[in-house]
Amino acid sequence: MTADAPLLRPRGRSSADRDVVGILEPARYPLASVLLAVVAVLVITGVGFTLGTVDLGLSKALNTLHTGPVGAFADAVYHVISPAPAIAITFVVVGVIWWRTRDLRPALAFGGTIAITWIPSAVVKEIVHRARPDVAVLPHPFPVQPDPGYPSGHTVYMTAFVIALIWLLRENRWHRVALVAGTVAIVVVFFAVSIDAVHYPTDAAASILWSLAVAPGVRVVWVDWLMPRIPFLRGPRARSAA
């Protein structure tokens, strides 16, 4: 272990477990996590077909806030976590994790959990094909976005990012900071996309539920089941057992 590593290593563990970064810890109930993820995808997708314009009034009300500093901030949030910047941010954080731990496994566990939670939501977006709020009836319309709106990819990404970060820092002195700051970040994104009215509030709410329910199952499949089958991503115990 290097001098840098303790930033991400859990404290108070036995010597056998001390090198396990939180996100690599096996799930206690893996099958339940995967089942929950599958059910959540089916339910959230199904609900999307029923929503229509049910919360158009709320979208219009929130969009009235899109003035001055609030509007500028909402726009900035939307642009900063658009797909290209979000991918770049994730790659940078993956690189930092790899550098700090000198271990590729937690870095790829972090990045893979985010990606595999996020990307399928874009597929569901095309399947449901819920239109975004009609710019013709909004007081402060945002430039028309070409793709459907349900679920919100921005909100799925931010929620998945926060969840992965909290797992990464589990039982670490930074865990509570990540939990509080991450929760604030999710709320900020929820209101940013709703105030911009690029998404209905129900788009954003469904996206938070998506990541909360899907990410644990994704982590089981990617980190617990698939990564140990890849030779250079096996942990010390798996390598010695082989």
Q: What pLDDT digit, counting tens, does each position of 51-67 carry?
A: 999 999 999 999 999 99
Out of 79-88, 97-106, 180-189, 233-242, least confident range: 233-242
Helix runs in the chain, H state only: 30-51, 56-63, 68-80, 83-101, 104-128, 153-168, 175-195, 201-219, 236-241
% of residues, the chain, pLDDT over 70: 88
Alpha-carbon gap, residue 209 to 151, rounded angstroms: 10
What is the reported pLDDT for 4?
Answer: 41
**Residue 203's pLDDT band (boundaries 50, 70, 90)?**
very high
% of residues, the chain, pLDDT over 90: 84
What is the reported pLDDT for 241?
Answer: 43
Selection from 179, 219, 174 nearest residue 11 by Cα: 174
Residue pair 157/89 in contact (Cβ under 8 Å)? The answer is: no
**How many residues does the structure list for the chain?**
242
- Mean pLDDT computed over 97-112: 96
- Which two tokens mark 28? 């206690």
**Residue 19's pLDDT band (boundaries 50, 70, 90)?**
very low
**Residue 7's pLDDT band (boundaries 50, 70, 90)?**
low
Q: Report the Cα 133 to chain-centroid distance in Å.
A: 23
**Residue 234's pLDDT band (boundaries 50, 70, 90)?**
confident
**Count of CB atoms within 10 A of residue 126's CB?**
9
What is the reported pLDDT for 40?
Answer: 98
pTM: 0.91
- Mean pLDDT computed over 178-205: 98
What is the reported pLDDT for 8?
Answer: 60
Each domain of the chain, given as residue ranges in start order, spans 57-231
Selection from 75, 82, 81 nearest residue 141 by Cα: 75
Selection from 120, 117, 109 nearest residue 214 by Cα: 117
Q: Supply the mean pLDDT for the chain.
A: 91
- Give the model confidence (pLDDT) of 131-172 as tens digits: 999 999 999 999 999 999 999 999 999 999 999 999 999 988
Cis peptide before 151 (omega within 30 of 0): yes
